Amino acid sequence: MADLDNKEQAELDQADMEDVEEVEEEETGEDSKARQLTVQMMQNPQILAALQERLDGLVGSPSGYMESLPRVVKRRVNALKNLQVKCAHIEAKFYEEVHELERKYAALYQPLYDKRSDIIKAAYEPTEEECEWKQPEDEELSSELKDKVKVEEEKKDEEKEDPKGIPEFWLTVFKNVDLLSEMLQEHDEPILKHLQDIKVKFSDAGQPMSFTLEFHFEQNDFFSNTVLTKTYKMRSKPDESDPFSFDGPEIMGCTG
């Protein structure tokens, strides 16, 4: 009789285990479906846009914390907020002085940039002394290897026509700088082969903060203008309606 009871109990335990496994399988299946649905939603630009709009609407919404504070504490918090606004204005002054330093040093850099441009477009041939480059220690080549490299370079020079300046310099720059290469499209490459120089012009002292990018091209079949410009206007002071969002100068618009 005891053996029969043990057998029945074992059968019941086995049945319970099977039920649990079925439930776990169902739950696992539901979790998988939920994950798939989440992935699909996150790939839908309309859903993402609606979500972003909702989140933007929550920014600055009262949390209820301030309302729950005693009046005397609220006054002290207001004092801290006034201090933070003053900090933002000091920070704005800091960035204005940084802008002045950029203007000052841009003038010092310019003669070097002008010579660089002349070399690139073959308006100036650098001297032997200017072309001498001392390799860092970790890049030093043995004398034998240097001779071999020199011979190979001379062979290549004999095989090719004499190139002018540094061909496709700026296109190479765009391809090798991560931030720029991400924006570079295939149809841009033939145009950028004609780019000879890029200049940055800062706004004059006492003028609203801005800067202008000048793209200098050689004559080409894509457009008639040899210089294309784009001017960026910036806001360098905290927004009075939302001073706590100030995080340095920001671009407010552009022309060109």
- Model pLDDT, residue 164: 87
CA–CA–CA angle 66, 68, 70 (5° rounding): 90
Q: Are 65 and 77 in contact (CB under 8 A)?
A: no
Structure tokens at 187: 């149809």
d(CA 138, CA 131): 20
Contacts of 174 (CB under 8 A, 6+ apart): 180, 181, 184, 188, 192
Strands (E), the chain: 195-202, 210-217, 227-235, 250-255
Q: Convert the pLDDT of each residue in 8-61 to its tens digit.
A: 555 545 555 555 445 444 545 666 666 676 666 666 666 666 666 665 554 555
d(CA 133, CA 108): 23
Q: Convert the pLDDT of each residue in 62-112 to its tens digit.
A: 667 778 888 888 888 889 889 999 999 999 999 999 999 999 999 999 999
pLDDT band at 126, cuts 50/70/90?
very high
CA–CA–CA angle 70, 72, 76 (5° rounding): 115
Q: Convert the pLDDT of each residue in 204-255 to its tens digit.
A: 888 888 999 999 999 999 988 999 999 999 888 888 888 888 888 888 888 8
